Structure 1
Amino acid sequence: MLVSSGFLLFVLAISGIHCDEPLADIIARLKALENKVERQNDIISRQAMQIEGLQETVSAQMRDISELTEKVSTQENDKKKIMKELSNLKEIKHSHELCMAMVKTSYVGHHKGKTEGIGNEDKATGIQRVKALDNTKKRFVLDTLETVAFEATISGATKLPHSHVHDRVVFETVSLNVGSSYHAGNGTFIAPISGIYIFSTSLMMLKPDISDHGMHVIIEKNGMEVAGAYAAYRGTYEHSSVTAAIELQSGDNVFVSVERHDDISFYGDNLTSFMGFLLYPY
């Protein structure tokens, strides 16, 4: 194919090559262009490495974000558990405060009537005792200094024969006597401090000499009947029991005695017992 000289000159012109330009200048320009291309390649290579590094950094940051997200989720769950426990503790605290308020109100109400009509000095003492509630937590039975409890039985194969009306039933074997307030010699409990006490007695009657004989025993406070237990003989050993809550002042005494049906015998072997404990101290 023949190319016109005019077209060739046109191509050379737009290429910036002039036929009248020395060859050495052309070679220099080519070398400069090659150097420029090499520098551009270096720049592109470095930028590619930077991009790769940035991609690795982004990948690591994404992993960190994922780990942090998991930690936040775990902490949220822990927070929910803590908030639930806090709510439960607040409810327990509120219940405890209500309980203490009820105890304090009961204590004040109980002593209000007792302080009416007495001297200012006694009233001041009563007020001081009420204030002491906050420090002593009302001295519940868990307070060793004011815990009182006892249990006594007629033990072994022994028996208590021929007890008569108004006789005290003596429970001679003592298994518990916290506060040393039960006296086994005469079967009597003497209150060491004022308060509300619980007493219970359980007795088994031996076969009486009279076929229609019954058993009637009572719990007495300072010689006055508080509660009673009855059993009628029906051809076998008969058993009866009674429990009572009694308010006592320091020095009051409580015991079990025969009330009716003379000449009663009680069975031993720990089947006949008497017990009591301090429920609520004043």
Structure 2
Amino acid sequence: MVSNMKSLVFCSQIILLCGWFTVSEAEDSKPVTSELEYLRESVARLQGALNDYDDRFNKMESANRALWVTVSKQNQHMAHMEDIIQGLQETVQREKIELDNFPKTLSDILAHVSGYNDEVKNIPHNYTTDVTDQTKARGLMRRLLVGSLPVPVAFQVYLSGRQTTPSGHQTIIFDTVQLNIGNGYHQTSGIFVAPESGIYVFAWSMRLYGTSSHSAQLVVGNQEYDAVYLAVHDGDNENVSGTAVAQVEKGEDVFVRTHAAFNLGNVESDAVGRTSFCGWKIN
């Protein structure tokens, strides 16, 4: 539409010039000053309309860019929510299996406990001096305690290759998973979602090379919990690591990200030295 308006203005200007030449050559023509003024005003109005369309087009482009940024953020949020939903589904499935294996009625529970009591009564009193009896006793105690033992949670992941010039507050997505007991770590988002509440230990490392500097933050529950910083110059090749102990509630996010500022160069990771992240529940 803007192109059509420009063509119209150009045609109007040609008509104006032709009219001027016609007036100059016709000795007996009527005064056309008013017509020339009308043409000039028409051209000015068309030019104003063209400018107005240009402004509208620029505003639409700006709105389109803003909408694209919003859609991108929503897509990232949806991917994160899908990871959380997947983790919840896995937790529900585990709990369903445990519930299916649990005695269904009071009589079943009493019979279950009665059977354990009978086994306990049959433990010899001198089991501490009899190797065979000690083995039986330990096996029985393991069977008695297995229902109360907490489910282990642990993960170990690392970056498979270089992460080029990460920006401020960018989550480091450790794409190689070596261990993921409890399925708390989500490979697509780089976020560990605690499957159980408790006290956890987290450790993370970052390797830099050449001339670069970065701060790697440990984020627990959307709050900066700890951080490490490293700067290298003139071909240096170094690694920095951090360790933290945190109380984490079930469903809380834990991840590693860059600082909002102080980011220069690449983050390295290969067989010589890894950029990695791990964690485990201690109670």
Q: TM-score range, shorter-chain basis?
A: 0.3 to 0.5
Which has the larger Rg?
1
Normalised TM-score (structure 1): 0.46
